[in-house]
Amino acid sequence: MEYIQEYSELKFQGIKINYLYVCKRKLWLFSKNITFENWSDRVLLGKILHEYSYPKEETKEVLIDNLIRIDILSDGAVREVKHSSKMKEADIMQVMYYLYYLKQKGIQKQGIINYPKERRKEVLDLTPEYEEKVKQALKEIEEITKKPVPPPATKQRICKSCAYFEFCWG
């Protein structure tokens, strides 16, 4: 059972890295398990993309090292699927974190972010600069999630499409 736990922890941390760059409040709420099921089309769309984007790919969730599983893995790369490239930095950092994590396990990989809707992909390598950034990010996550109260809501463009919109602004 241990690898399952590690896997979900890995995913969990990956999302947190992503949110760190998207919205720190979102990160805090997510870290406290304050999440809401989504009935919105957007999320459904995300789900469908995940499920149907790469039907021919043999490996959707592969067990690495008999230990961790990552979204989609083939061609020796860690792959994330995103539905828009708006949050580029956040997405890149998420993948960098996976690469960093794998590196700790002695596995060297490339990362790919696919934007099927835009028919684009981005190939990423873990550079020393990014490695440093990932470490920095992990520290920052800890600091933010340790705070007793969430960072206040600040209106941003992404709020409108955020799952927390009604929570933050209602």
Partner 1 sequence: MQKTLYINSNGRLRRKENTLYFETETEKRAVDIENIEQIHIFGEVDLNTRALNYISQYGIVLHFYNYYGFYAGSFMPRKKNVSGDVVVRQALHYLDRDKRMFLAYCFVESAVYHMMRNLRERKEAEAFLNAIEDEWENGRFNISSIPELMGLEGRVRNIYYSSFNQFLPEDFYMERREKRPPTNPINALISFGNSLIYSTILTEIYHTQLDPSISFLHEPGEKRFSLSLDISEIFKPLIVDSVIFKLLNNRQITLEHFDEDLNYCYLNQEGRKIFIKELQNKLETTVRHRQLNRNVSYKGYIRLECYKLIKHFIGDSVYSPLKAWW
| For the chain, counts of helices (H) and of strands (E) | 6, 6
Residues between 1 and 40 with contacts to ligand SF4, criterion CB under 6 A: 23, 25-26
Token pair for 1 = 């059972």
Q: Note whether 83 binds ligand SF4 by CB under 6 A.
A: no
The count of residues in the chain is 170
Is 67 in a helix, a strand, or coil?
coil
Asked whether the beta carbons of 20 and 27 are under 8 A apart, the reply is yes
Is 16 in a helix, a strand, or coil?
helix
Q: Note whether 149 binds partner 1 by CB under 8 A.
A: yes
Chain Cα centroid distance, residue 68: 15
Q: Note whether 150 binds partner 1 by CB under 8 A.
A: yes
Q: Note whether 12 binds partner 1 by CB under 8 A.
A: no
Distance CA 90, CA 79 (A): 14
58 or 166: CB nearest ligand SF4? 166
23 binds, among ligand SF4, partner 1, none (CB under 5 to 8 A by kind): ligand SF4
62 or 163: CB nearest ligand SF4? 163
Residues between 16 and 75 with contacts to partner 1, criterion CB under 8 A: 32-37, 39
Is 127 in a helix, a strand, or coil?
coil
Among 3, 21, 54, 167, binds partner 1 (CB under 8 A): 167
Query: Crossing angle, helix 88-104 and helix 2-22, to 10 degrees?
Result: 150
Residues between 148 and 167 with contacts to ligand SF4, criterion CB under 6 A: 153-154, 156, 158-159, 162, 164-165
Q: Which residues bind ligand SF4 (CB under 6 A)?
A: 23, 25-26, 153-154, 156, 158-159, 162, 164-165, 168
Under the rule (CB under 8 A), what is the footprint of partner 1?
Answer: 32-37, 39, 148-150, 152, 165-167, 169-170
